[in-house]
Every structure is written in structure tokens, then in C-alpha cells.
Amino acid sequence: MRLSRYFMPILKENPKEAEIVSHRLMLRAGMIRQQSQGIYSWLPLGKRVLDKVNAIIRDEQNRAGAIELSMPTLQSAELWQESGRYDAYGKEMLRIKDRQDRPMLYGPTNEEMVTDIFRSSVKSYKDLPLNLYHIQLKFRDEIRPRFGTMRSREFMMKDAYSFDLTREGAEHSYNKMFAAYLRTFDRLGLRAIPMRADTGPIGGKLSHEFIILADTGESEVFCHKDFVDFDIPGAHTDFDSVEGLQAIFDKWTSLYAATSEMHDEAAFNAVPEGDRLSARGIEVGHIFYFGTKYSEPMGAKVQGPDGKEHFVHMGSYGIGPTRLVPAIIEASHDDNGIIWPASVAPFDNVVINMKAGDQACDDTCELIYAALTKAGKDVLYDDTDDRAGTKFATADLIGVPVQIIAGPRAVASGEVEVKDRKTGARETMTIEAAINRFVA
């Protein structure tokens, strides 16, 4: 992508409305724009990161056996009347009427809708277990939307829903998502700790929130510090192994970890003082087991091996991609801007032409840009006629992992400078060596 033809509206000044660093940097880097309170457009740079986050989420959902579909944002109130949540959900639900005066709503979550899909076609235990997910916008009319897309009113959610014949089966389904979440957050460059949490309006008695420790987090959390170094399940984890997944769950729940709503002071005090971590955190995921809470009132049942009908045991599993993007920034930035983990960086490299219009600089940049692009890399080429200082500041701000800098002096001796955004380390190398290093 040539920067001269791209749309990346950088802000020079710090926006006044931004209270936390991720919000400030997302606005300054031209990633998002607020359209009305708590409702955002994702501008091209932001959209690239969001898509990469979603690709990792999707990959891990698929690995764990979940199946993607797409459900609408607008839902009929009738479904929610069946489950009893239409009235219970309260003011957070945006209620709308269509032209025939039929009550509709902008979905804050999809338990009812997916239960309706399930009951319309699944009739036998032989079709279980089943886990269906989508990545879709949601709307919650939050009292206090804030911190940009961290807590917005319209936001994206990956929501998965599992269906099992028995409670034991549902526990295995829960463990699959538990392990998939550990892997997902790890691939996003984050350390998320599962903590016992309040189930709120989703319901049920069992739930875990996945929390990233951050001073700017909205949740108050308490946990054993060893979680920070626990091993993440590997890529070859067997998601069909009941014992294997139970062992992962048992290990990751063997020490104290709870959000403030579930906090048990006495149990926490039993943790040796030096091992206690009392901190703030960002909730990036939340998984629930709620048994037959929706299947019973909505009549979602299957025929079991005993020939009798059974209400299915369900769970639901949420991740907030539009919250994850600022969470990643909270965890990875410096005074100059964002430092993207390679897995979600909007571009792999940025080629900086320090003197656009200078034939040798232009030729060198074009050569590198073409070679890396051909190799399938996402490359941003700063071909604008801005001052070199402005270009460096922009490249640091948007956090692309590698900067390849072509200035007249280096280019004259067939060289470029390569800067690692994270460490700041600079290295001079031949043009060919730079290409060879980054096509790999």
C-alpha cells in the first residue's frame, strides 16, 4: 500500500477526549472515528488490525471444533419473550419497532436466536455435540461507554454457543473453549488469566472471565501471581480428549483467581502474601455454562439414546475483538506510539523513502516494495513528500514492527537501514540483504 494513496488520517495533537493511552493512540493513528456516543467507524488502519485479530480468533475456534455461521444484528422481540429475557434485559437493550409496529431489537447477544436455529433442525443426540459461532456486531446501551472501543455501545463480539446431551458433555465443550481462549489470547501477544466471575444477565452458575492485567482496566481482580507464567496449550492439543482438556482446565483453575464480584477475601488471604496479585484488569473474554436455562423455556430438546427427549445443556462463549485491539495497545506501546505484536500488525513492514523524488531513493524503495509485496507481505510504502522526521514519527506511531529506511547517503552505497520498532535497534545492510530477510 502506497501511503500517498491510502487513507490514514493521523492526528498531530493529543485528542482531549481520550483518557487512556490506547484510546489516544487509536485516534492519533487514524484507526477509529467516533460517530456518536460509543459508536465507532473503523478506519482502514484499524480495520486491518481488527481483521487480523478476528482471523486468529476464527482459526482457534475452528481448531476447537466450533462451526462458523452468521446471524443478523436485528432480532425479533418474540424470541426474547420466549426465554423471558425481553423484560429482564432492561435499558441496555436497544428496542426498535419496524413499519408494521412489530417490536424488534438490536441484539446484545444471541442465546435465543441460536437456540431457535438449533431447535428447528436438530432432533437427535447423534448430531451432538455442536458448537456454532459467529463474529458479529452487538449493541448494548451502556450507561458509561468510555475509553473508545474498549467499552462502546456498538461493539463486535465473537460469540459461540455449545449444545450437548448431558452436563458432562457440556463440561467438555466448556473446556474446549477454555483451552481455545488461552491459545487465542497468547497468539494475540497477551497473557489472559481465567477468573471466576459473576454470570450477570447471561445466567447460569459457572463462568470464567479472561482478564488481561492492566492499570487502566475497569475490573478489580485478585489472583495468584504464578498464572503469569503458566504454560499455554500447544497447537497439537487434542480437543477431543476429555481427560486432556480437563487437565488443562484443572491446572488453570488450581490457584486463586477471581474478579471483585466473586472475590473471597478469606480464600485469597490463604495464598502466601508474596504470591498475591491484586490488580486491575481488562475483561477480553467470558465463557458460561448455563445448562438448560434457554433450552427449557424455548423447547430445544433432542432424542437421547434412551429414546426419551432431553433438553440440551448449553454454554456460550464471548470474546470482544473491538475491545481486544485497545487491550493489545495498553499492553504494548511506548512514548512514541503503538508497538504491534507481529501477529496483528496492520502491515508487516513500512518502507520509508527519506527523499521522495530522488531517483536512487525512489528506485530502491520501489524495488523493495515490489519484492516484499510479491512475497505476500503486507507492506506500507511511505512515498509521500513529508519531511523525514514526520515519516519517522508516523512509522513509530502506527507501530509497524519493521521499518526499512532508504536515505540518499545509504542508498548511494547500495544500502538501507532497518529499524526494529520494538527494540529501536537499527542495522545497516545491503538492499538485497534487506529483501532476503523480509521475504522469508
Applying CB under 6 A, the residues found at the interface with ligand P5A are: 109, 140, 142, 151-152, 155, 157, 159, 202, 283-286, 288, 316-320, 322-323
Q: Which residues contact 372 (CB under 8 A, 6 or more apart)?
A: 348, 349, 351, 379, 435, 438, 439
Is 193 or 411 the residue whose CB approaches ligand P5A more closely? 193
CB-facing half-sphere around the CA of 100: CA atoms within 13 A:
3
Is 112 or 348 the residue whose CB approaches ligand P5A more closely? 112
**Considering the complex, what minimum distance in angstroms separates the CB of residue 433 from ligand P5A?**
43
Largest CA distance in the chain: 81
The residue count of the chain comes to 440
**Considering the complex, what minimum distance in angstroms separates the CB of residue 410 from ligand P5A?**
45
Is 112 or 383 the residue whose CB approaches ligand P5A more closely? 112
Q: Which residues contact 229 (CB under 8 A, 6 or more apart)?
A: none
Contact 157, 85 (CB under 8 A): no
**Considering the complex, what minimum distance in angstroms separates the CB of residue 235 from ligand P5A?**
24
**Considering the complex, what minimum distance in angstroms separates the CB of residue 136 from ligand P5A?**
10
If you compute the radius of gyration of the chain from its CA atoms, what whole number of angstroms results? 24
Is 287 or 434 the residue whose CB approaches ligand P5A more closely? 287
**Considering the complex, what minimum distance in angstroms separates the CB of residue 174 from ligand P5A?**
12
Q: Which residues contact 87 (CB under 8 A, 6 or more apart)?
A: none
Strands (E), 114-265: 130-139, 154-164, 192-196, 206-213, 219-224, 257-259
For every residue of 336-362, DSSP letters joined together read: TEE---GGG-S-SEEEEETTTT-HHHH
**Considering the complex, what minimum distance in angstroms separates the CB of residue 220 from ligand P5A?**
16
Is 135 or 345 the residue whose CB approaches ligand P5A more closely? 135
**Considering the complex, what minimum distance in angstroms separates the CB of residue 196 from ligand P5A?**
14
Is 129 or 320 the residue whose CB approaches ligand P5A more closely? 320
Strands (E), 295-436: 301-303, 309-311, 313-319, 333-334, 337-338, 349-353, 379-382, 402-406, 415-420, 426-430
